[in-house]
């Protein structure tokens, strides 16, 4: 077990931390972090020589080092010349999925096994610097179980907002279309018609969903549907969104095609996931309605390079070839038009822990490094309805703090190799 030094203001400030499996709790309630460089995502600037004061699991203050008088018997963590920033937020993940098993190979796993995938992947994702995750779609409420185990301190992982099973039409992207009729298989979230959709929303909320996810169009990795074809009518989407909002839940709509995107926005969804084929009218509607776009512009690379080797169907690879570059081009158009955008990379399509690889593509397609960081911090926190809890290193926020060795504002790819991770005042990586 680690022993943290108790250091006064007059002693050298050096801490070397080795980790135990469940993270390292600092003995004292009061902790100081010395940050040579602090990325202030709220102000959009780099601050030098800052002291972050943490009491319990929250940040008490952030001050210039020259203005701080250290209290005796506090713990001090010196991050030297590292660049410190808020824990990152992933808004589109599937922690109970595994990138090695797609298509028919994924049929072999039970819900309990998927939950165990989630235990492994939650820790990997946390150590990659993502201290908060929105999980959008999981079988059998496996993500609810994962969230609750993390909250109870039984396993390591990010803070989770979870949807449970994603809602969809019979035979649509959110259904299981891989087996013939005699198996009688239908996915957990299938509901058709406005009242059946309302009932399904109530059901997933009953069993623990923090938000509602549904499929407004076809998708890449599903069998037998058009990637851009609309699924659910306006009346069904409107009923779904109205029911969810009545219960205080936000709604995320999987949508690649332009008609489904626009119908979902008009129905009042809070975010469009993927948004690959969004057109000028869809961009205008998203901006007018304040709808967030969550565009997974990294995983096209993984799908086209590795998809065949991990069981993705030939038709899925063909769909990705149709939309991948268009999605990236539309990411740039939407951002330049002023649409709200949050970071989401569709983990489980690619290996968990590689989430940070998306930052380079966000910068290549329209954003500056600071803007990409804001999409993964303050913008994501706003969409989560946690704007005063996560996404910034600021007084009152959770002490969710990461560090990298060099300045991410010069090279955003350094976020692929996070060197320090703290969540809620507890160190998981150093």
> Is 10 part of a structural domain of the chain?
no
Verify that 331 and 230 share a domain, yes or no.
yes
Q: Domain of 108: which CATH number?
A: 3.20.20.140
Helices (DSSP H) in 64-157: which residue ranges?
Answer: 111-127, 142-151
> Is 326 part of a structural domain of the chain?
yes
Q: What are the tokens at 213?
A: 């996810």
Give the global pTM. Answer: 0.94
Q: Name the packing angle between helices 280-289 and 258-267 (round to 10°).
A: 20
Give, in order, the Cα–Cα distances in Å from 173 to each of 64, 132, 168, 180, 215. Answer: 51, 26, 7, 16, 6
How buried is residue 333: exposed, middle or buried, by Cβ count under 10 Å (0-12/13-18/19+)? middle
Verify that 81 and 93 share a domain, yes or no.
no
Verify that 61 and 200 share a domain, yes or no.
no
Verify that 180 and 81 share a domain, yes or no.
no
Model pLDDT, residue 73:
87
Verify that 79 and 124 share a domain, yes or no.
no
Comparing C-alpha atoms, which of 21, 222, 215, 262 is closest to residue 119? 21
Supply the residues annotated as catalytic. 213, 346
Verify that 152 and 273 share a domain, yes or no.
yes
User: In angstroms, how far is the first alpha carbon of the chain from the final one?
Assistant: 15
Verify that 149 and 36 share a domain, yes or no.
no
Verify that 135 and 203 share a domain, yes or no.
yes
Q: Where in the sequence is the domain holding 137, given as residue range(s)?
A: 88-384
pLDDT values of the chain reduced to their tens digit, one per residue, 430 residues:
333 333 333 233 334 333 334 576 654 589 999 999 999 999 999 999 999 999 999 999 999 999 999 998 899 999 999 999 999 999 999 999 999 999 999 999 999 999 999 999 999 999 999 999 999 999 999 999 999 999 999 999 999 999 999 999 999 999 999 999 999 999 999 999 999 999 999 999 999 999 999 999 999 999 999 999 999 999 999 999 999 999 999 999 999 999 999 999 999 999 999 999 999 999 999 999 999 999 999 999 999 999 999 999 999 999 999 999 999 999 999 999 999 999 999 999 999 999 999 999 999 999 999 999 999 999 999 999 999 999 999 999 999 999 999 999 999 999 999 999 999 999 999 8
CA atoms within 13 A on the CB side of 331: 29
> Is 108 part of a structural domain of the chain?
yes
Q: Domain of 421: which CATH number?
A: 2.30.40.10
> Is 15 part of a structural domain of the chain?
no
Model pLDDT, residue 29:
86
Verify that 155 and 200 share a domain, yes or no.
yes
Question: Which residues lie closer than 8 Å to 12 by C-beta, 6 or more apart?
Answer: none
Q: Are the C-beta atoms of residues 54 and 30 closer than 8 Å to each other?
A: yes
Nearest-10 Cα torsion for 245, 211, 137, 266: 30
Handedness of CA 94, 100, 101, 103 (dihedral sign): positive
Model pLDDT, residue 379:
98
Model pLDDT, residue 13:
35
Model pLDDT, residue 113:
98
Sheet order of strands, 88-93 included:
88-93, 130-135, 159-162
Verify that 69 and 137 share a domain, yes or no.
no
Question: What's the DSSP call for residue 70?
Answer: P
């Amino acid at each position: 077990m680690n022993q943290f030094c108790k250091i006064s203001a007059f002693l050298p400030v050096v801490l070397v931390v080795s980790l135990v499996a469940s993270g390292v709790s600092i003995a004292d309630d009061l902790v100081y972090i010395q940050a040579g460089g602090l990325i202030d995502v709220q102000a959009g600037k780099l601050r030098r020589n800052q002291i972050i004061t943490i009491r319990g699991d929250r940040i008490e203050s952030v001050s210039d080092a020259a203005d701080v008088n250290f209290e005796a018997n506090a713990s001090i963590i010196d991050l030297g010349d590292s660049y410190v920033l808020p824990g990152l937020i992933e808004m589109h993940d599937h922690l109970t999925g595994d990138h090695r098993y797609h298509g028919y190979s994924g049929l072999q796993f039970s819900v309990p096994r998927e939950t165990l995938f989630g235990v492994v992947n939650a820790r990997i994702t946390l150590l990659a610097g993502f201290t908060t995750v929105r999980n959008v779609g999981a079988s059998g409420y496996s993500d609810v179980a994962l969230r609750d185990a993390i909250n109870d301190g039984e396993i390591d992982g990010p803070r989770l907002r979870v949807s449970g099973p994603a809602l969809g039409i019979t035979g649509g992207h959110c259904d299981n279309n891989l087996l013939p009729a005699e198996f009688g298989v239908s996915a957990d979230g299938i509901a058709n018609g406005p009242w059946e959709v309302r009932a399904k929303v109530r059901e997933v909320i009953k069993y623990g969903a923090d938000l509602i996810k549904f499929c407004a169009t076809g998708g890449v990795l599903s069998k037998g549907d058009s990637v851009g074809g609309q699924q659910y009518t306006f009346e069904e989407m409107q009923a779904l969104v109205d029911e969810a909002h009545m219960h205080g839940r936000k709604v995320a709509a999987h949508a690649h095609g332009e008609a489904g995107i626009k119908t979902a926005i008009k129905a009042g969804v809070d975010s469009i996931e993927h948004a690959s084929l969004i057109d000028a009218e869809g961009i205008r509607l998203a901006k007018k309605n304040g709808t967030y776009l969550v565009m997974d512009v990294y995983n096209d690379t993984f799908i086209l390079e590795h998809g065949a080797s991990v069981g993705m169907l030939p038709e899925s690879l063909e769909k990705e070839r149709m939309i991948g570059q268009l999605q990236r081009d539309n990411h740039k158009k939407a951002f330049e038009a002023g649409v709200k955008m949050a970071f989401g990379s569709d983990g489980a399509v690619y290996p968990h822990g590689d989430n940070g690889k998306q930052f380079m593509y966000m910068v290549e397609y329209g954003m500056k490094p600071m803007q990409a960081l804001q999409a993964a911090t303050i913008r994501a926190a706003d969409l989560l309805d946690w704007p005063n809890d996560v996404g910034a290193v600021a007084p009152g926020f959770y002490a969710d703090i990461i560090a990298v060795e060099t300045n991410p504002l010069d090279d955003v790819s350094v976020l692929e190799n996070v060197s320090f991770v703290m969540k809620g005042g507890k160190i998981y990586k150093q």
